Chain A
Amino acid sequence: MTLLSILGVLSSAIFSGTSLLFTTLGEVIDERAGIVNLGLEGVLLVSASSGFAVTYLSGNPYLGILVSILAGGLMNMILGYLVITRKANQLASGLALMFFGFGLSALIGKPFVGEKIHSLTRYVLPGTAGLPLLYTSLFKFDILIYLVIPAAILVWWLLYRTRWGLGVRAVGENADTAFASGRNPHLIRYQALFAGGMLVGLGAAHLTIAFTMNWTEYMTAGRGFIAVALVIFSKWHPLRAIAGALVFSGAVAFQLLLQSSGVQVSPFLLDTLPYILTLVVLIAWGGNRKHSAPGSLGRVYQGSE
């Protein structure tokens, strides 16, 4: 285990953790407003396929990112209509949204499988330019990676330091009380879902445009569900989500390193390492009541007549 391989794990974790963190931040906002979005996988896929399609057609990855963000917001609006206006069950609606996303993204992405795009430019992390080439190549990141930590801080500031964030949290804790204090729970939930969806779209954009640089059907392969788990892992807090995403993707990178280090452990077993780690954290933190879930998470707000 050399310094290079440890830095390598960190670099891999940052690369693959970025889309996961954007997605987790989006879900944190949704759940803070009291809505569980189990359809995250579908939202990610639709955003990724439309963002990739536009990047390919326009040749401009930034336009693709923009479309991806908008698609994420729009997908969440479908969920919003179902669970806010139609007062449908959140879990059922989320799952329906997910399956809808599977089909729609396959349809949108079909003509673009195997196409090549111009990806985002990568910039060397300031301060590492003087290091040997082997090291600098570890710290060449695209703009979305540089933006992900500020995004987490922004989400924290929005939720904890603004009137809007207070409203979101109030609605998530107890929508009736929020209504009594003069807020509009429906409107706030729609806003939170749109904002959350846009962040999920940003995560999808990083996955397809900057990371894999291609589109394949069902390319998220469960990352939407990992993001849902990471929200619980991070106790619904945007800053703890940074640690959550880094730990999870770090574990993935670490098990890949172990595999190719000649460790004679079954790769099938190593592949479960990140999930075992998630389980361990849930067990260790599970009983802590201090940072528990928003009070009315998953509950339908019936409105006050």
Chain B
Amino acid sequence: MKNKLFGLLSIVVCTLVLLSACGPAATSTPVVVVPTVVPSTAVPPTEVPTPTPPCLIIGATYGGSITDAGYNQAMHEAVMAIKTSIDCVEIIYAEGVPDEAGATTTMENMISQGATLIFATGNNHQYPALALSQTHPDVIFEHAGGWEMGANFANFFGNPPDGWYLMGVAAGKMTTSNKIGFVANSPFAWSLVFLNAFELGVQSVNPDAKTYVTYTQAWGDSAKEAEATNALINQGCDVITMHVDSPITVVGTAESRGVYSIGFQNLAAQQFAPEYWISGTGYTLGGKLTWLASTVIDGTWTPIFLRCGMSDGCMAMAPFGKRVPQNVQDLVMQKKAEVEAGTLVVFTGPIVDQDGTVRVPAGEVLTADNMSYVDWLVQGVVGSPK
């Protein structure tokens, strides 16, 4: 008995030693920059703030880490932007929230803390949120990038294909080997739409250039992303871009090999490619989420299927890298103006897929609601769409 107790004790000690070895690391970590609001009227520092109940408690769930310089960070920045404009809101957030059961308990916990507006930003948080919206009719749920709608459940998202087209224009101008690499999660509809928009942009300035795609079959397997990036570069690709959760590994690996890269998800990706960055697009949904929160506060919220693009401020383009020539920058900006003015529509027919089948006939346009069903790749993309 005594021996067993001693054994247990030694395990605890062993663990503590191991933990304490990393202790200094954990304590001196850099402060994560969370946008805080400076009150417009200066408050004397001696005054004790009187606790006033918040005008709205917002709960937000993220599927990954809010410092991934990618999708989750972009969503978190958008949610925190609400606080910058509407000071009286209180935000509760949880990162690394798993799918299904995990998401349900996290959101229930937020509701029990008084949250009446939930931003479920994980792709797989849609159905847990939808189920909860039926049992909590007094709580409003907003999901990112889904398709379901309900009385107190709506969907919001940016509209990335336009940005992908512009990135294609830049890539088509920058490549000299006419081989562009694309690391994607898996051949699901939106990845295929992005690939198609990108290659259409490439072809508009460089009909000989092809986009080579490899799939990692995961949103966040960074070692596989590095392998896929290296494989594409080893094949002769001299521009690399990606559609996985975090751009860090792909962009960083391309940089370490001296190859151009284009980011996606979050504009923060640029810091990982100080030399060979071309540009990138990311979600900047702060303004729209602030508007949604304000309609919840004044009681005018209605469920709308919200999709917004660059001209609405929901998507933005990162600054160009230092190796991008002025004429390329000018061309991209000119196309951007055309897209925003509506004179350039990316998916205008005729669009032909890899097998030669006409997918969008001449004179027609692929509409946003049909993009969720895309299962083909345009000519010029090398890789399988299934």
Chain A interfacial positions (CB closer than 8 Å to B):
4-5, 7-9, 11-12, 15-16, 19, 46, 50, 53-54, 57, 70-71, 74-75, 77-78, 81-82, 85-86, 104, 106-108, 110-116, 119, 122, 134, 137-138, 207, 211-214, 216-217, 219-221, 223, 249, 252-253, 256-257, 259-268, 271
- Given contact pairs A4-B236, A114-B65, A116-B272, A15 touches B230 in the complex (Cβ within 8 A): yes
Instruction: Give the contacts of B185-219 with A (CB-CB under 8 A).
Output: 186-187, 212-215, 217-218
Q: Does B345 contact A (CB under 8 A)?
A: no
In the complex, what's the smallest C-beta–C-beta distance from A60 to chain B, in angstroms? 14
In the complex, what's the smallest C-beta–C-beta distance from B237 to chain A, in angstroms? 8
Q: Is A57 within 8 A of B25, CB to CB?
A: yes
Q: Is A119 within 8 A of B383, CB to CB?
A: no
Q: Is A221 within 8 A of B221, CB to CB?
A: yes
Which of these binds chain A: B15-23, B287-295, B310-318?
A: B15-23
Q: Does B158 contact A (CB under 8 A)?
A: no
Q: Does B101 contact A (CB under 8 A)?
A: no
- Given contact pairs A114-B248, A213-B253, A137 touches B231 in the complex (Cβ within 8 A): no
Which of these binds chain A: B26-34, B53-61, B120-128, B132-140?
A: B26-34
Q: Is B231 within 8 A of A260, CB to CB?
A: yes
In the complex, what's the smallest C-beta–C-beta distance from A95 to chain B, in angstroms? 16
Q: Is B234 within 8 A of A266, CB to CB?
A: no
Q: Is A4 within 8 A of B96, CB to CB?
A: no
Q: Which residue of A lies closest to B27 (CB)?
A: A111
- Given contact pairs A114-B69, A253-B227, A8 touches B384 in the complex (Cβ within 8 A): no
Residues of chain B within 8 A of A266, CB atoms compared: 384, 386
Option from B7, B186, B212, B252 in Cβ contact (under 8 Å) with A267: B186
- Given contact pairs A114-B67, A122-B256, A8 touches B235 in the complex (Cβ within 8 A): yes
Residues of chain A within 8 A of B224, CB atoms compared: 221
- Given contact pairs A71-B21, A268-B217, A214 touches B235 in the complex (Cβ within 8 A): no
Q: Is B187 within 8 A of A104, CB to CB?
A: no
Q: Is B234 within 8 A of A12, CB to CB?
A: yes
In the complex, what's the smallest C-beta–C-beta distance from A128 to chain B, in angstroms? 14
Q: Does B68 contact A (CB under 8 A)?
A: yes
Cα of A263 to Cα of B224 in the assembled complex, Å: 20
Cα of A256 to Cα of B382 in the assembled complex, Å: 12
Residues of chain B within 8 A of A82, CB atoms compared: 11
Q: Which residue of B lies closest to A67 (CB)?
A: B21
Q: Which residue of A lies closest to B228 (CB)?
A: A256
Q: Is A221 within 8 A of B181, CB to CB?
A: no
Q: Is A213 within 8 A of B236, CB to CB?
A: no
Q: Is B222 within 8 A of A212, CB to CB?
A: yes
Q: Is A212 within 8 A of B236, CB to CB?
A: no
Q: Which residue of B lies closest to A10 (CB)?
A: B234
Residues of chain B within 8 A of A16, CB atoms compared: 223, 226-227, 230
What are some 7 contacts across the A-B interface (CB < 8 A)? A4-B236, A213-B253, A221-B224, A260-B231, A260-B235, A263-B384, A271-B217
| Residue from the set B11, B18, B234, B252 with the largest chain A CB neighbour count within 10 Å | B234
| Residue from the set B223, B225, B248 with the largest chain A CB neighbour count within 10 Å | B223
In the complex, what's the smallest C-beta–C-beta distance from A58 to chain B, in angstroms? 10
Q: Is A116 within 8 A of B19, CB to CB?
A: no
Q: Is B256 within 8 A of A11, CB to CB?
A: no
Q: Is A57 within 8 A of B227, CB to CB?
A: no
Pair count A-B, CB < 8 A: 175
| Residue from the set A16, A85, A107 with the largest chain B CB neighbour count within 10 Å | A16
Q: How many residues of B contact A (CB 8 A)?
A: 63
In the complex, what's the smallest C-beta–C-beta distance from A20 to chain B, in angstroms? 10
Q: Is B234 within 8 A of A5, CB to CB?
A: yes
Q: Is A137 within 8 A of B68, CB to CB?
A: no
Q: Does B105 contact A (CB under 8 A)?
A: no
- Given contact pairs A74-B21, A116-B272, A266-B386, A81 touches B10 in the complex (Cβ within 8 A): yes
Cα of A71 to Cα of B15 in the assembled complex, Å: 12
| Residue from the set B96, B231, B246 with the largest chain A CB neighbour count within 10 Å | B231
Q: Is B30 within 8 A of A78, CB to CB?
A: no
Cα of A252 to Cα of B234 in the assembled complex, Å: 14
Q: Does B249 contact A (CB under 8 A)?
A: yes
Which 10 pairs show the lowest CB-CB distances between chains A and B? A8-B234, A111-B29, A114-B67, A256-B231, A260-B212, A113-B65, A262-B382, A53-B25, A212-B222, A267-B215
Instruction: Give the contacts of B236-261 with A (CB-CB under 8 A).
Output: 236, 246, 248-249, 252-253, 256-258
Residues of chain B within 8 A of A134, CB atoms compared: 236
Additional A-B contacts beyond A4-B236, A219-B221, A261-B235 (7; CB < 8 A): A5-B234, A71-B18, A104-B18, A113-B65, A213-B249, A221-B224, A267-B217
Q: Is B22 within 8 A of A108, CB to CB?
A: yes
Residues of chain B within 8 A of A259, CB atoms compared: 213-215, 383-384
Cα of A78 to Cα of B12 in the assembled complex, Å: 10
Q: Which residue of B lies closest to A140 (CB)?
A: B257
Residues of chain B within 8 A of A86, CB atoms compared: 7
Q: Is A213 within 8 A of B223, CB to CB?
A: no
- Given contact pairs A134-B236, A223-B223, A81 touches B248 in the complex (Cβ within 8 A): no
| Residue from the set A8, A137, A259 with the largest chain B CB neighbour count within 10 Å | A259
Option from A57, A74, A212, A253 in Cβ contact (under 8 Å) with B18: A74
Q: Does B79 contact A (CB under 8 A)?
A: no
Q: Does B116 contact A (CB under 8 A)?
A: no
Q: Is A113 within 8 A of B234, CB to CB?
A: no
- Given contact pairs A260-B181, A271-B217, A216 touches B246 in the complex (Cβ within 8 A): yes
In the complex, what's the smallest C-beta–C-beta distance from A227 to chain B, in angstroms? 13
Residues of chain A within 8 A of B220, CB atoms compared: 216
Cα of A114 to Cα of B271 in the assembled complex, Å: 11
Residues of chain A within 8 A of B92, CB atoms compared: none
| Residue from the set A122, A216, A265 with the largest chain B CB neighbour count within 10 Å | A216
